[in-house]
């Protein structure tokens, strides 16, 4: 493949990935409002378009045309940069996420990801960890004590739960023997006893999956760990002083991070694009993408279900749960996994 062809193919993949991601972000909000509505015996969005399907478009137009206020007391440069940093970090991580095998077009062998990096997992962890800077800067630059507390809480959550999340993934790396997301998925191919998928969640990493799940809720500031924006304590937390599109950008970053977390869970624990049916040659391109999307969709439903079911933690409970329960459990899981792999070797 020539350099010009490679650049053209990469640009096309970037455009498609951004379009799919941003559309998924918009309709994740619709899905959440719809599912929570049914959980709470309400309709949810139902007036704008059939079944309320045009509600994301209406919300986007509303945010675009609302007055964009910048309070006079803020640190203007950082105040404006904070939501941009959050969105950029949230969107960039999708670049190294594979959603399927490959497709052959006009003699070109094109993998279904923007770029194949052999340390893709480290890249995602690094980029997503930087996203908390946007929240912290938003809290500090707003010159609002409630916003500052929200930013500090987000930073403390990231430090506390990133350790447990990282330790939970080391077990997967030990079992798979690679940092490459594609190789981790390939290691989960096949079945036990002819019918049980060889996914890591069924292959000795059940505890790691639980730790990852809890840490992911805290990392993305979702209920029951949404203490940085607890309206009962901090008005609206780190985005109290934001309005219009800058306010919307924080929500875009949150839902993009949720999708990224769902993609990682699918790749690391749920077999990636491996599914029960392979099918004919054409289906070998379409079906893996379908299975991958279905697993991420199920993860999003779980996110929403937890929000509609569990109450918010107190902040001391949040930190105690991370340091006194998840962290020792992650260390124990890592030690047991290492011993089992060593004995099998």
For 138-187, how does the pLDDT look when each residue is reduced to its tens digit (9 = 90+)?
989 998 888 888 888 888 888 889 999 999 999 999 988 888 898 999 88
Find tokens 């959550």 and name the residue. Answer: 157
How many residues in total does the chain contain?
A: 345
- State the pLDDT at residue 298: 93
- State the pLDDT at residue 170: 92
Whether the pTM exceeds 0.85: the reply is: yes
Omega cis (within 30) before 35: no
- State the pLDDT at residue 333: 93
Is the distance from CB of 258 to CB of 300 less than 8 angstroms? Answer: yes
- State the pLDDT at residue 4: 84
Sorted by where each begins, the domain ranges of the chain are 69-344
For 38-62, how does the pLDDT look when each residue is reduced to its tens digit (9 = 90+)?
998 898 888 988 989 999 999 999 9
- State the pLDDT at residue 28: 93
For 248-268, how does the pLDDT look when each residue is reduced to its tens digit (9 = 90+)?
998 899 899 999 999 999 999
- State the pLDDT at residue 23: 93
b/e burial code for range 141-177 (CB count within 10 A of at least 16 → b):
bbebebbbbbbbbbbbbbebbbbbbbbbbbbbebbbe
Residue 283: CB atoms within 10 A of its CB come to 12
- State the pLDDT at residue 194: 63
Q: For residues 335 and 167, give the distance between their C-alpha atoms in angstroms, rounded to a whole number.
A: 10
Q: What is the DSSP letter of 200?
A: G
Q: Which residues of the chain have pLDDT under 70?
A: 1, 192-194, 278-283
Q: For residues 327 and 283, give the distance between their C-alpha atoms in angstroms, rounded to a whole number.
A: 42
191-192 and 108-111 strand pairing? unpaired
């Amino acid at each position: 493949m020539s350099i010009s062809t490679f650049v053209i193919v990469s640009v096309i993949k970037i455009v498609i990935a951004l379009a799919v991601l941003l559309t998924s972000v918009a309709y994740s909000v619709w899905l959440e409002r719809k599912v929570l509505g049914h959980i709470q015996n309400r309709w949810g969005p139902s007036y704008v378009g059939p079944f309320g399907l045009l509600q994301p478009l209406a919300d986007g137009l509303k945010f675009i045309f609302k007055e964009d206020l910048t309070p006079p007391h803020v640190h203007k440069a950082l105040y404006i940069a904070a939501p941009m940093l959050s969105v950029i970090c949230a969107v960039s991580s999708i670049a190294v996420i594979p959603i399927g095998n490959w497709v052959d077009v006009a003699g070109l062998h094109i993998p279904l990801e923007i770029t194949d990096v052999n340390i893709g997992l480290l890249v995602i962890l690094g980029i997503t960890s930087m996203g908390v800077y946007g929240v912290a800067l938003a809290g500090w630059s707003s010159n609002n004590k409630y916003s500052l507390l929200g930013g500090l809480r987000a930073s403390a959550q990231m430090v506390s739960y990133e350790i447990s999340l990282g330790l939970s993934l080391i077990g997967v790396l030990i079992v798979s023997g690679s940092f490459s997301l594609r190789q981790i998925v390939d290691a989960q191919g096949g079945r036990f006893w002819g019918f049980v998928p060889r996914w890591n969640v069924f292959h000795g990493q059940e505890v790691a999956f639980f730790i990852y799940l809890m840490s992911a809720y805290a990392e993305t500031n979702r209920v029951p760990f949404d203490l940085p924006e607890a309206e009962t304590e901090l008005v609206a937390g780190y985005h109290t002083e934001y309005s219009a599109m800058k306010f919307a950008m924080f929500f875009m970053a949150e839902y993009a991070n949720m999708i990224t977390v769902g993609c990682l869970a699918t790749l690391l624990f749920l077999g990636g694009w491996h599914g029960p049916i392979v099918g004919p040659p054409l289906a070998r391109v379409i079906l893996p993408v379908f299975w991958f999307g279905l697993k991420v969709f199920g993860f999003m439903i779980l996110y929403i279900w937890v929000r509609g079911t569990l109450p918010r933690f107190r902040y001391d409970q949040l930190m105690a749960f991370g340091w006194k329960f998840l962290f020792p459990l992650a260390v124990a899981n890592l030690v047991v996994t290492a011993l089992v792999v060593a004995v099998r070797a």
